Amino acid sequence: MRNALGSVDTVLLLGGRSEIGLAIVERLVRRGARRVVLAARGGTAPADGLERLGAEVHVLDFDAARPETHAALIEEAAAKVGDLDVVIPAFGVLGRQAVYDADPVAAARDVAVNFGGHVSVGLAAARRLREQGHGTLVVLSSVAGVRVRKANFVYGSAKAGLDGFAQGLADALHGSGARVVVVRPGFVIGRMTRGMTPAPMSVTAAEVADAVVAALDTRKGTVWVPARLRLAFAVMRLLPRPIWRRLPR
């Protein structure tokens, strides 16, 4: 159970090797979480660090591309650790637009993970949180989905879909005791973006994690990382298409 000062007991991370996901989990464990489930493809995820911090860690096999397994996975996690206080689907793939242009099937496959996988996991998690009458679903959206750019519009459109899904789900869960926190990071420097040139207002996984953990203490439903991206995108959303399309990246 979440306590009065925002510390939680149990965490489920889907995409158990995600840099951002693990950074969030580590912070939650440092603040008192004692039972963690890492769900990752192949059933392998780095549990040692979390165990050293005093957490009991369970690792489950999870494939984001197989939505038919997702509801059972959520139940299996709850069977291991009890009520799920925080659920963090942090899986995703970031392919290059040029590759997608040449390989539409690969594009559809990645969208199925980045959007479809989050829909099935999100709905299954929401059902569990609604039943238990409390809990938080953290949805890792992106500014890439706030206004989709031609430079990565396959990835961006999946994130746009995910962002809309998360907002709708947040409203559907209103009053259920459960809630959704939508996280919109900018360019995150890390493994997923290795070799790419960081965009302005880039952040690290640690900074995203700090912002998410801070938001869990408040009643905030949306978190921009860094916070000033909110203002930046308020302007960018209004840019006329001819200008938007000419932006360098």
Partner 1 sequence: MTLLTGWGRTAPTRATVARPRTAEEAAELVAKAGRRGVVARGLGRAYGDAAQNAGGLVLDCTALERSWRVDSTGLVTASAGISLHDLMTALVPRGWFVPVTPGTRYVTVGGAVAADVHGKNHHVDSSFGAHLRSLRLLTADGAVRTLGPGDDLFWATVGGMGLTGVIVEATFRCVPIETAWMRVDVERTRDLDHTLETMAATDDGHRYTVAWIDLLARGRRMGRGVLTRGDHAAPGDLPARARGNPLAFAPRPLLSAPPWAPGGLLNRATVRAFNAAWYGKAPAAPRRVVQGIAPFFHPLDGVSGWNRLYGPRGFVQYQFVVPLGAEDTLRRVVERLSGAGVVSFLTVLKRFGAGTPGMLSFPMQGWTLALDIPAGQSGLAAMLTEFDGWVAAAGGRLYLAKDSRMSADTMAATYPRLERWRQIRRRADPDGVFVSDLARRLRLC
- Provide the annotated active-site residues: 155
Q: What is the rounded CA–CA span in Å between residue 211 and residue 223?
A: 7
Strand ranges (E), 90-133: none
Which of 105, 175, 238, 242 forms a contact with partner 1 (CB under 8 A)?
175
Q: How far is CA 233 from the centre of its chain?
A: 20
- Residue 177 interacting with partner 1 (CB under 8 A): yes
Which of 19, 26, 83, 207 forms a contact with partner 1 (CB under 8 A)?
83
Binding part of the chain for partner 1, among 89-97, 141-149, 176-184, 204-212 by CB under 8 A, reads 176-184
- Residue 171 interacting with partner 1 (CB under 8 A): no
Q: Which is nearer to partner 1, 32 or 164 (CB)?
A: 32
CA dist 177 → 58, 79, 127, 129 (Å)? 26, 20, 12, 8
- Adjacent-strand bridge partners of 239: none
Residue 202 exposed, middle or buried by CB count within 10 Å (0-12, 13-18, 19+): middle
Which of 101, 103, 131, 171 forms a contact with partner 1 (CB under 8 A)?
131
Q: What is the rounded CA–CA span in Å between residue 57 and residue 80?
A: 10
Binding part of the chain for partner 1, among 2-10, 39-47, 72-80, 162-170 by CB under 8 A, reads 2-10
Which of 3, 108, 150, 234 forms a contact with partner 1 (CB under 8 A)?
3
Tokens in use for 148?
A: 């989709």
Number of residues that bind partner 1 (CB under 8 A): 23
Which of 80, 96, 134, 230 forms a contact with partner 1 (CB under 8 A)?
134
Contact 9, 1 (CB under 8 A): yes
Under the rule (CB under 8 A), what is the footprint of partner 1? Answer: 1-7, 9, 31-32, 34, 82-83, 130-134, 175-178, 219
